[in-house]
Amino acid sequence: MAQGRRPATVHDDRDERLLIEAAKRDPRRFAELYEKNFELIYAYIVARVRDRSEAQDLTAEVFHHALDHLPKFEWRGTPFAAWLYRIAANAIADRSKKNAREPLADVSEAAIEEDFERVEERAQVFRLIGELPEDQGKVLVMRFVEEQSVRDIAKQLGRSEGAVKQLQFRALQNLRDRLGVKPPDVRNG
């Protein structure tokens, strides 16, 4: 089990089931399910499509589909996120087929479960980035999610390239500390 992750409890399952039932009665309550699962689903999708705009579109599509089909959802004791992963996998496959960019991979349930922990870790990183000081979080998103150069970030933020590099360094150091990860040893020899 990943460090810092607590196992699901009967109480968590009951809470999630009650939340699902409430959302079935009142679709406005779906917002709570969305908030609870957005980062996991977005991280899952962005890891597969590698295009931020397409990942955002697919994530929105997944939650719209889930909301539309929530009345048909049956609680079977598995996390609600598992249902959302299945919807996401199907949406990715459908988009791939529609765009005919690359051959379709068979997305099995085993493959989804295999990636589950990695996706949860990625979502935890997204959450932690949101907890960083605003300028540090912004630099990490611009640098690693939007894949912008240090020079472009510096221009947009009105800072020097050195200042952006320092913000990036501090942000990564903060993330490592929060995740309990030791920095790589970069000494020569």
| Owner of token pair 């539309």 | 68
Q: Which domains does the chain have, with CATH numbers?
A: 1-120 (1.10.1740.10), 132-189 (1.10.10.10)
pLDDT in tens, the chain (189 residues): 344 444 344 446 678 889 999 998 988 889 999 988 898 898 888 888 878 888 899 999 999 999 999 998 888 777 888 889 889 989 988 888 777 655 545 555 556 655 666 667 677 777 777 788 888 888 888 887 777 889 999 999 999 999 999 998 998 888 888 877 776 655 554
- Residue 112, judged by CB atoms within 10 A of its CB (0-12, 13-18, 19+), counts as middle
For residue 144, give the nearest of 167, 112, 160, 177 by alpha carbon: 167
Q: Token digits for 39?
A: 């980062």
pLDDT score for 160: 93
Question: Distance between CA 134 and CA 112 in Å, rounded?
Answer: 33
> For position 93, what pLDDT does the model report?
87
With a CB cutoff of 8 Å and minimum separation 6, the contacts of 174 are 132, 136
All residues at 6 or more sequence positions from 156 whose CB lies less than 8 Å from its CB, including other chains:
142, 148
User: Do residues 116 and 73 make contact, with C-beta atoms less than 8 angstroms apart?
Assistant: no
Q: Which of 180, 146, 121, 182 is nearest to 51 (CA)?
A: 146
What is the Cα Rg of the chain in Å? 19
* Nearest alpha-carbon partner for 41 in 111, 115, 142, 137: 115
- pTM, two decimals, is 0.53
Helices and strands (H and E) in the chain: how many: 8, 0
Say what the pLDDT of residue 4 is. 41
